[in-house]
Chains A and B, each alone.
Chain A
Amino acid sequence: MSTNRIKITINGKEEQIPKINTLADLISLKELDSKKIVIEKNLQIIDKNNLHITNINENDKIEIISFVGGG
């Protein structure tokens, strides 16, 4: 039986998201600007140029990181 949703963890929070193929799809889904973020998938940093060829699978742990003010 196929399902059209998958469970992943984004920034420590478990989420059911529509089934998508790649990290680039996830960025579109979350309406983020890939130029301003860095993504880790299961603790591996994903090069910006490889977002569209990096698959997302059930139970993946995704960290989406950006810059903030700091001293």
Chain B
Amino acid sequence: VSDYLTIDNKELKNRLFIGTGKFPSKTILKETLQKIKADVVTIALRRVDIESKEDNILDFIPKSSQLMINTSGARSAKEAMRIAHLAKASGCGNWIKLEIIPDNKYLLPDNLETLKATETLVKEGFIIFPYISPELSMAKRLVSAGASAIMPLGSPIGSKRGVKTIELVKILIDEIDTPIIVDAGIGHPSDAALCMELGCAAVLVNTAIATAKDPIAMAEGFNMAVKAGRIACNNATCAQSSFSNASSPLTGFLHSND
């Protein structure tokens, strides 16, 4: 039975979304994406350095991958919309990871500006993935505005501290029908597995893979964790209990004379 995540009529088999920053080389990035058959890959827009022309990152991303362009660097809805328009003009599609970050110390997003940009960009036909501090009423507003998923942060970007916001993320999963995709802070495969077990639709990982000793191996680890977590989410039935619940038949004959 297929268990695809469908967004914008696209069936996504791999629920591990990959961010492409900080890889030791573009060749390693390419091998990583191929190895795990990444379906969704994020990239960013920057001014071209005319003096030192670099290889174009698009040449290292499989053509079959869905690109998601982030609005990193945007500090307001207006700036994020400018990036979204540039992204569309580039011909790389209309999937936008909307991140609007006025704070450089913690890189925490401005939820209100994110809502404003979502409202406008959805109307313009963009597929919007807002990156937010997990907050239920804001997530509901974003869904009403037409966001295709909600991307709550686990902990500050690049911190690899894990899913510190877990209780708030759980509430989003319980209350929001739109896919919840944890983004930022995922440090270890166990963090990714936990998100998936709880019912996240996907996770986005960048730093923990790109800065690992062997990014390709680490991506495989994350890939297995995401799949394991998803299987658990789909199949777990045991409610937790305060008391034990024997797995083996208690061997009655031992104490039959008690």
Contact = CB atoms under 8 A, between A and B. Distances in A.
A29 B7 CA distance: 41
Contacts, number: 94
Interface residues of B, number: 38
Contact of A71 (B53, B57, B207): B207
B13 interface: no
Interface in A1-39: 10-12, 30-33, 36-38
A47 B157 CA distance: 33
B85 interface: yes
B47 A67 contact: no
A6 B206 CA distance: 43
B57 to A, nearest CB: 5
Nearest to B18: A71
A45 B85 contact: yes
Contacts of A45: 85-86, 89
B138 interface: no
Contacts of A33: 56
Interface-centre pick from B48, B56, B70 (highest chain A CB count, 10 A):
B48
A43 to B, nearest CB: 8
A49 B188 CA distance: 45
Given A69-B21, A71-B22, A71-B207, 13 more contacts: A32-B50, A37-B90, A66-B46, A67-B44, A67-B45, A69-B44, A69-B57, A70-B19, A71-B19, A71-B21, A71-B70, A71-B184, A71-B204
17 contacts: A11-B50, A32-B53, A33-B56, A45-B86, A48-B89, A65-B90, A66-B48, A67-B43, A68-B43, A68-B45, A69-B26, A69-B210, A70-B206, A71-B42, A71-B70, A71-B157, A71-B207
Interface of A: 10-12, 30-33, 36-38, 40, 45-48, 63-71
